Amino acid sequence: MSTVRAIDLVLPEIEVHLAGARIDGQLVLDLRSTLVDPVVKVELVGRGYFRWLEEENTEWDYEKSTACTNQAVYVSKTQNFHIKDGWLDSGVHTFDFHFTFPPNIPSTFTSKIGCVSYFVQGTCCSSQVVLAQEERCLLLQGTAGDHGRHVKDTAPLMVEVRKDVVYFCCFRCGSVTLRISLEKNIFCPSDTIVFMIDIANRTRKYVRKVIFALHCIVLYSGFSSRGEPRSLEDRSEVTRLKSQPDTAPFEAMRVTSALVLPKPMPVTSSLMENKIMAFRYELVGTSDLPCTTSTIVVRVPIIIAA
C-alpha cells in the first residue's frame, strides 16, 4: 500500500490559456503515514511531435515504407518544493506553484499526423521511486508569428472564379461564376468571418448549394530514419457551413454568410517560428455544377493572428 493516499492538481478554471500568461495552481498530497526525504515537484511541459509513413520507392516490386518524424520542446519548467526538516507527516499537504508560459509558442494542435500539446504534471517521489503522479492537459492559444508582415493584408479582398458548364464532353451550356468578398482577411481565434457570396448562374439549371469551409494547411518538416530531410503538406477542415441559395437559371444572387472560428487554433506562421510545423489557412467555397460531375472551387487566403 502506497504512502500517498491521493495526489491532486488544483488549476484555475480557465478554458484556454494564453502564451506569455501566468498560471497559478496547487499540488495537494494526502499521506497515509509519515514520508521521509520526499521529492515533491510540479513540471510544465509543452511539446510538438509528428510522424508519417511514406513509400521509399514506387518502382520496387515490394512495398517498403519509412517513418518520417520530428519533435520540438516549446517549454520545460520544473518547480521543486522545499520540504522542511526532510519529512512530511500524515495528512493533507498543499504546495503552491506558479509558471509563466513563454510568449512565442504555438497553440495546442492535433491532427492525424502530429500534435502540439501542453500539460502540468505533479510528482511525489521517495528514494528515487515514484509514489504518485498526476497530469493535467492544458489548452493554449499561441501568439507566434510575425504580425507586422500582415499589415498590408487589412484591405478588402475579393476572389472570383468562373467555370463553363459542359454536357456530354463537348456540349457547352452556359457558365457559373462564384465570387467571395471579405472586408478584411486577418482574423483572431474565436472571431467571426463574415463574407459575401455572389453567384451568377448562366445555365438552365438551379445552383442548389454552396459548401464553405475553412481549411488549415500544415507544412511538416521532418527526417527519415536515415536522417534525410523530408516535408509533407497536409490539409484539414477547421469549420464548415452549408448554404442553399437555390440560384435560379440565368439569375444572379448575393448571400451573406459567417463562420465562427474556434479557440485555440494555431496562428499563421512559418517553419522558423514553430520549428517543425508551418500553418496557413484558406476559406474555400465549393459548388457542384448543375447536372454535371464537375465542381467550381474558390479559395481565399485567410490570415489568423493573435
Residue range 54-110, pLDDT digits in tens: 877 666 555 678 899 999 999 999 999 999 888 999 999 999 999 999 998 999 999
Confirm if 287 and 209 have CB atoms less than 8 A apart: yes
Same domain flag for 166 and 238? yes
Give residue 94's domain range.
Answer: 4-141
How confident is residue 291, by pLDDT bands cut at 50, 70 and 90? confident
Say yes or no to pLDDT of 1 above 80: no
Instruction: Out of 123, 141, 159, pick the residue that ends a domain.
Output: 141
Instruction: Out of 99, 118, 141, pick the residue that ends a domain.
Output: 141
pLDDT at 2: 79
Confirm if 123 and 245 have CB atoms less than 8 A apart: no
Number of domains the chain contains: 2
Same domain flag for 100 and 119? yes
132-173: per-residue pLDDT in tens? 999 999 999 998 665 555 555 566 889 999 988 876 555 667
Same domain flag for 33 and 69? yes
**Cβ count near 249 (within 10 Å):** 13
Same domain flag for 48 and 156? no
Instruction: Out of 125, 141, 157, pick the residue that ends a domain.
Output: 141
pLDDT at 84: 87
Report the predicted TM-score, pTM, of the whole model to 2 decimal places.
Answer: 0.86
**Cβ count near 63 (within 10 Å):** 9
235-254: per-residue pLDDT in tens? 999 999 999 888 888 899 99
Same domain flag for 150 and 287? yes
Peptide bond into 264 cis (omega under 30): yes
